Chain A
Amino acid sequence: MTEDKGEDATEYMNLKILGHDNSVTPFKIKKHALLIKCLKTYFKIIGLDRVSVIFSFDGHRIIKTDTPSSLEMKEGDVIEVFLRQIGG
């Protein structure tokens, strides 16, 4: 079992981030790696605040513990970036 997991962990996946302004950023990540780490790098590059943004995959908001395998992502899937909405 553990060996299987080890093999899986080295497998890479190509995913894309679709920004709030329609920009597309491709990135590579291991299947069992935490997505949030990758997204943190994205913040740095785009220059957005972490609080003002939501990442969503298939309508599911990505939280700290999510990995590509836990969300059953496939090669080439798209993570969407939304700005926080607030209004009165």
Chain B
Amino acid sequence: MFEQLINWFPEWARPFIMPMITIGIVLQVNLGVCSYLILLERKLSAWMQDRIGPNRVGPWGLLQPVADMLKLLLKEDVIPGHVNKFLYVLAPGISVFTTMLAFAVVPFGPVPRNLSATDGQFPYIIAPGVDLGLVFIFAVTSLAVYGIILGGWASNNKYSALGAMRASAQVVSYEIPLGMSVVGLALLTGSMSIEKILLHQVDAGILGWNIWFQPLACVIFFAAAMAEAQRLPFDLSECEQELVGGWHTEYSAMKWGLFFLGEYTHVITISFLTSILFFGGWHLPWIAEPDSQYLGSTLVKVLVLLTKSFAFIIVIQMLRWTIPRFRFDQLMGLAWKVLIPLATLNVVCVMIVKQFHLNEWWLLPMSAGLFLGAGLIGTQSSRPFARKTLEPVAEAHGHHAHAH
């Protein structure tokens, strides 16, 4: 496909050509898609709330992202006088850089087997052959919180500082269930490489998709990833109703835009990862099989993957306008008391199945059992909260009053 282009370059430069092309495509598509995702989110929220949404710029408001982008670029870029300038400017950069870097190991199409950098095949992934794809993603996205923390701290604003502190506690907590939830996949596949997990499912057909064996892990992964990306219902760090804008209260113009670019890139990464890790990636029975070789089959495979990811983006956006925000103690309780034990027990289940060479289908009832067991414990432990906590205080007050 690209052999002639590659051969035109000197020998030493050839390994860099395909990655450069891929990076260019991914970056540009990502920027465009992000701005249109914002339009989609605005439209979707409008439809869910019986409104119409942006409809003035272009037909059906389709040029709204262009107008938004122009507005962000042309707005006065205010740097308040009381901020720590260096960190204030650095923070949006970190936010975008880390989320974009995480996309490097996410395949966005049928990655060719036996890929080499110089044979001119389009790789459909920026960095092919990373043995530790999942760990790499977690490492890089765990750095994304620095953008939030530094932005919040450097703003020298109480709302920003509160948002940043919430974000730091939240991200550190939710990294654990996020990592634990995919350990089961790594055990089932025998690799941490995202490409290998994808190929493992593709070769096994639709009944080999990981969702059949790890439905609980899928739910945990999805919830924890949304918490990592600071999306509602986990957006306590920027909740408009109490913290103005949270950590980006003091930001304006394109710096603010960069934060949102980072957030939407994170959402795209989550959606791709969910569809690749649990829903078979580009595989769709009879239409996009590994051995389907009809004209345009590669394009169809890319489209299948994009459609699956798009569905998850829609789900994430709908959840944002459906579920109310957690309280902070509920948020921490969900991570430490529910998700982490469930993810750990899920890994134990996978270990049992692998160790005793049981049929992998045993994992489906095991996951369901864990889920229902968690619900049962939740019923037992949900007790009237206000009375037990506050009653002694009230009685003490009463006693006090009697004494006088």
A binds B: no
- CB within 8 Å of B: which residues of A? none
